[in-house]
Structure 1
Amino acid sequence: MKKDKKFYWTLFSSTLTLSAFTFGGGYVIVPLMQKRFVKDLKWIEEEEMLDLVAIGQSAPGPLAVNASIIIGYRMAGIPGALLTTLGTILPPLFIITLVSYFYIAFRENAVINALLFGMQAGVAAVIVDVVINMGMTIVKDKRLLPIIVMILAFIATAIFNVNIVLILFISGAIGAYTTYRVNLLNTKEES
């Protein structure tokens, strides 16, 4: 893929547009990033996108920014990471700055409160959609261990309130071990 001005503009404008018109944080912007970079532009494969999101989720900081950094770096190295990060942070920075000037008026306004309350329902629906799509991708692979890890992670979080950091660490360790084991078996078969 040719990395010219048009490529960099598309990279920047994609994250800028997604960030400007997405409410609800990282879990809402991620499926839109997936649609843009996997389905529309065909720059990233679906499975790789899930891996990039998993890395972004496990890193400290906002998921939307982390995912943008990783996608930008994957597409164009450090310049790509800088462009996608800038595209992701500019709209919220501008909007929050604007809202902060009018905070008191917004806080007391019944219409604004109703609008924000209604947006919460939409955000919840998008998050459920993300969970279903990511879960279905895991189930489609028909590999038993990831399905079991997904179910146990959900139970640990939803029922037993286990710290998410511990769940991510254990899930990551299981994934690393199984990947290492598969690679070791493949190496032995090739020998």
Structure 2
Amino acid sequence: MKFDRLKTIFTLFRITFYISAFTFGGGYIVIPMMRKYFVDDLDLITERELMDMAAIAQSSPGAIAVNIAVLVGYRIAGIFGAVISAIGTVLPPILILSVISIFYKAFRDNHIISAILKGMEAGVAATIVDLIIDMMQGIFKEENLLFTLMAPITFIASFVFNVNVLVLIISCALLAIAQTYLKNTMRGA
């Protein structure tokens, strides 16, 4: 029994460390990686749980990658799993930034490293587009007209009409709350 728990804790650390060390571009990039390992490969959480955790991680203060790692770790192994996942997620950036800060001048002036980082930007953009497509497919499966229209309308409002993002977030939250309230009221009647 203790061996299984220790194995689970080590797996959490190994996967969060690996994801954090090899994903560049911010918190949204870790979601497809976590899906691959925790949902598809190990079947430790469901896709729905991961999407719910991603929503909570987005709306919580702090780095999304750390927030979602903590939530996944907590779901799988409790408080100790949350702590181990946080350490596994934070350790690679600390190590990488420490090395970069020591050799900052050499990195800054190296054209090869600049080209590698530019190439990574394209990969990050492709991964984010893939994540958006996957999330939209989940929304379409729910067959909820409000949620289906919410993404393109908020994009147009923000991108074309420069509506403040805070206004969009609050509006979408209020619409979702109103829809849930109306559905629950209709069911009760």
Per the TM superposition, whether the score is higher than 0.5 is: yes
- 1: CA distance, partners of 2:68 / 2:91: 15
Please say if 1:51 is aligned against 2:52.
yes
C-alpha deviation, 1:157, in angstroms: 2.1
Cα–Cα, structure 1 residues 8 and 110, in superposed 2: closer, same or farther, change >3 Å?
same
- 2:129 match: secondary structure: helix
- 2: CA distance, partners of 1:82 / 1:165: 31
C-alpha deviation, 1:68, in angstroms: 1.0
C-alpha deviation, 1:136, in angstroms: 1.3
Alignment of 1:67-86 (within 5 A): 67-86=68-87
In structure 2, the partner of 1:158 is: 159
- 2: CA distance, partners of 1:114 / 1:100: 19
In structure 1, the partner of 2:95 is: 94
In structure 2, the partner of 1:130 is: 131
Aligned length: 188
TM-score (structure 2 length as normaliser) = 0.90
Q: Deviations over 1:77-98 (max 9, x none)?
A: 3222111111111001100111
Please say if 1:30 is aligned against 2:31.
yes
Letter in 2 for 1:152: I
Letter in 1 for 2:23: T
In structure 1, the partner of 2:170 is: 169
CA RMSD across the alignment? 2.0
Instruction: Identify unmatched segments of 5+ residues in structure 2.
Output: none
Instruction: Identify unmatched segments of 5+ residues in structure 1.
Output: none
C-alpha deviation, 1:146, in angstroms: 0.7
- Identity of counterpart residues, as a percentage? 46
Q: Is the 8 A contact 1:58 1:168 kept in 2?
A: no
- 1:4 match: secondary structure: helix
In structure 1, the partner of 2:183 is: 182
TM-score (structure 1 length as normaliser) = 0.89
- 2: CA distance, partners of 1:183 / 1:44: 28
